[in-house]
Structure formats: structure tokens, C-alpha cells
Amino acid sequence: MFHGSMVALITPMHHDGRIDEPALERFIEWQIEQGTDGLVPVGTTGESPTLSHEEHKRVVELTVRVARKRVPVIAGAGSNATAEAVGLARHAQAVGADGVLVVTPYYNKPTQDGLVLHYTAIADAIDIPLIIYNIPSRSVIDMSVATMAKLAHHRNIAGVKDATANLTRPLHTTATCGADFCQLSGEDHTALAYLAAGGHGCISVTANIAPKLCAEMHQAWRRGDVAGAMAIQARLLELHDAMFFETNPAPAKFAASLLGFGTEHCRLPLAPLTEAARARMRDALASVGISLPAKT
């Protein structure tokens, strides 16, 4: 199943807000070359809340086409309307995605029973793995471990992206859902600790900018080099901090623009980075040892 360093892809844009398809294609190629284990388009970091349905589908199609099965593609397919999520999930399957990432329904505030019904309806409609995305800080709803255990019995519900930063969760999830239930961290700062608690990988924001280091950290962990993995995590700390100094994905897109992948443009209501955030990101890139093109 899915493992290692998976990137929560940004969606590069032109200054006028149009999706920059050539930049996205170059970015995906670079990610694969740098060792990224999987691609996750049109999630929160990909600005899915402000993409039209047509744009959302186009980004998934491009990602699948460029990836060419070299690494898995887990396409964002979440919505707070179950029927809409079903449609996005079916489209992802139709164009060749290897799985879908489905966020807990935001704003509606369903009960735990409502979550079971929502995810079951989506999983029943497809034949590829579904990863639950549990991120209470953005969706308000927190799926309980008991609810996840009920859903883990479904043939197509394969795992969770856990963005709670609660390191007891993977322990309890393994105990109730089984060791084969795929657990992916959604929080860069605790990614290594999550692996130690039973996780299988991380869907990372920082991997947009430091894909090689993020991949090497997971590789070190898998071969038993705990000290090496810890050294990389420590090296990435300042960059993790800068990535979330202001609302994601604005810092990531600014850093990507410095590396030559599109502009820093984010769609409203996300604001451009403050000068303090820009300076912090530049310092963080330098601290990690990421060289910028001469023109910047």
C-alpha cells in the first residue's frame, strides 16, 4: 500500500490566477526525480476549495498523465456534499488515479454515524483505495478511532491521513484497524514520530520544497537508520516552521516560485505573504541548504 514521502502538491498558477499547466508538469517531474514516493493533487495544499470542478479534474488528469504509474497518485476527492465527493472519486478512478483522499465533511458537522454513511457511500461507488483525511483543525469534525475501525472493514477504505498531530492516534488505530490499515501522517513536524508510533508515511507540505530530504528521511527510517532519519528531521525543522508561519499553501507557493515553479499566486481569500514571512522562508531555505536560481 502507500508509504514513504508523499507530497501534497501545490497547484502552480499564473499571476492572473489561471493554472500554470507547464509549471505543474515540470514540478511533478522534479518531484519524481527527487525521490518522492507518491503524489497527492488537489488537496488543501492544492487549493481545492477555490478550484472549479473542471479545474480540479484537469489537475488530476495532468498528474496521472505525467506520473505514468512511476509513483502512485492519490487524488483529492473530498466534499461536504456526499454526491459531489462520489462524482470526484469516480472521475479520479476513470482517469487512472491509484487512490482518492477524502476529507471529513466540513461545515455540515455530521455525527459519527453520518461519517460512516458518507464514507461508505463514496467507497461503494469506486474500486480503488480510499484514504480518509482527518483534519479537525480545518473541518471541525474529528473522526473517532472507533468510527475509523468500522470503516476499515470496507474493502475499499484502505487508510487514513492523520493531521491531528496526536501521536497516540496511530497506536490506537493499529490496535483497532489492524497493522495493514495504511496510516499516513498529515503533519510534517511529527512525521518521524508518527512512523515510530506505527505510521507508514507522510503526506507532506514540506516535500513540495525539499522532496529529496523528505524522501531520504523515510528511506533512512525504513532501513533502520534511526539516527540518520532524526538528523534529517532536525535539519528540516526551520523549514517546517516557515511552511506554516502563515496559512498553507501561501508559504509553500512562495518558496516554489523562488525555485522556478510558477508564481506565488494563491486565490483569494488567501492573502500574499507578509514581508516577515518571506524573510523567514528565505532564511529557512538557506538553513536547509536549498540553493535558489541565480535570478532570485
**Percent of the chain topping pLDDT 90:** 98
Q: Using a pLDDT cut of 70, give the percent of the chain over it.
A: 99
Residues in the chain, overall count: 296
Contact 60, 9 (CB under 8 A): no
pLDDT at 168: 97
Which tens digit of pLDDT belongs to each residue from 32-71?
A: 999 999 999 999 999 999 999 999 999 999 999 999 999 9
CB-count exposure of residue 142 (10 Å: 0-12, 13-18, 19+): middle
pTM value surpassing 0.85 = yes
- Residue 1: which pLDDT band, with cuts at 50, 70 and 90? confident
Q: Please state, rounded to an integer, the average pLDDT across all residues of the chain.
A: 97
For residues 199-203, average pLDDT:
98
How many domains does the chain divide into?
1
The 10s digit of each residue's pLDDT in 221-254 is 999 999 999 999 999 999 999 999 999 999 999 9
Residue 256 lies in a domain: no
Residue 119 lies in a domain: yes
Which residue among the candidates 57, 119, 150, 161 is catalytic per the annotation?
161
- pLDDT surpassing 60 at residue 296: no
Residue 189 lies in a domain: yes
DSSP label at 166?
A: -
Query: Annotated catalytic residue: which of 57, 133, 194, 253?
Result: 133
Q: Does 150 map to a domain? A: yes
User: Which stretch of DSSP H or E encloses residue 6?
Assistant: strand 4-8
Average pLDDT rounded to a whole number, residues 215-221: 98
Confidence of residue 292 (pLDDT cuts 50, 70, 90): confident
Is 119 an active-site residue? no
CA distance 208 to 190: 17
* Residue 270, domain member (yes or no): no
pLDDT tens across 92-122, in order?
999 999 999 999 999 999 999 999 999 999 9
Measuring CA to CA, which residue among 194, 109, 102 is closest to residue 148?
Answer: 102
Residue 259 lies in a domain: no
282 within some domain: no
Number of Cα atoms under 13 Å in the Cβ half of residue 282:
10
Q: What is the DSSP letter of 49?
A: G
Residue 50 lies in a domain: yes
pLDDT in tens, 114-158: 999 999 999 999 999 999 999 999 999 999 999 999 999 999 999
Which range of residues forms the domain containing residue 107? 4-221
Q: What is the CATH number of the domain that holds 213?
A: 3.20.20.70
Instruction: Give the phi and the psi of residue 100 in degrees, each rounded to 5.
Output: -130, 150
The Cα–Cα gap between 107 and 11 comes to 24
The answer to whether 127 touches 89, Cβ cutoff 8 Å, is no
What pLDDT was estimated at residue 293? 82
Active site residue 133: yes
